[in-house]
């Protein structure tokens, strides 16, 4: 979207669309997480429900209008869940290894050069 101020968070190695790469579809992830207490449901969709496509259903919003696979709200919330370590089992191994390498590099002590005092 040109001129859009919306920023989608990127966690680890992003998939082609800028989101984390998962081992299963985000629709399947939602089906497995739907009853978890830390899963936050979104606000109701804006707009006239009668004008939404009845051929598309979003399991995250629990209404028609768009597919779960294309739901920005679910993708953004899923990225938050990844950061909070709720979805580790669904993250592709390449992403997990990248995150571990990144974290190890951030945690390693940095050398500080100090002039010798005489």
Read off the pLDDT of residues 61-114 as tens digits, 9 standing for 90 and up: 999 999 999 999 999 999 999 999 998 899 987 655 555 666 666 665 555 555
Domain hosting 92: range is: 26-44+72-99
Q: How far is 36 from 90, CA to CA, in rounded Å?
A: 15
Answer whether residue 18 is part of any domain. Answer: no
Answer whether residue 86 is part of any domain. Answer: yes
Answer whether residue 111 is part of any domain. Answer: no
Torsion angle (degrees, nearest 10) of CA 51, 48, 62, 41:
140
Answer whether residue 31 is part of any domain. Answer: yes
Answer whether residue 105 is part of any domain. Answer: no
Answer whether residue 49 is part of any domain. Answer: no
Answer whether residue 63 is part of any domain. Answer: no
User: pTM of the predicted model, to two decimals?
Assistant: 0.65
Torsion angle (degrees, nearest 10) of CA 110, 116, 117, 118:
160
Total domains in the fold of the chain: 1
């Amino acid at each position: 979207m040109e001129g859009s101020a919306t920023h989608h968070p990127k966690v680890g190695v992003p998939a082609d669309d800028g989101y984390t790469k998962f081992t299963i579809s985000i629709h399947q992830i939602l089906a497995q997480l739907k009853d978890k207490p830390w899963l936050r449901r979104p606000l109701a969709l804006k707009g006239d429900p009668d004008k939404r496509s009845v051929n598309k259903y979003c399991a995250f919003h629990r209404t028609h209008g768009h597919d779960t696979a294309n739901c920005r709200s679910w993708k953004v919330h899923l990225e938050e869940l990844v950061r909070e370590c709720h979805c580790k089992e669904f993250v592709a191994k390449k992403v997990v290894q990248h995150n571990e390498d990144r974290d190890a590099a951030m945690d390693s002590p940095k050398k500080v050069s100090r002039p010798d005092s005489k």
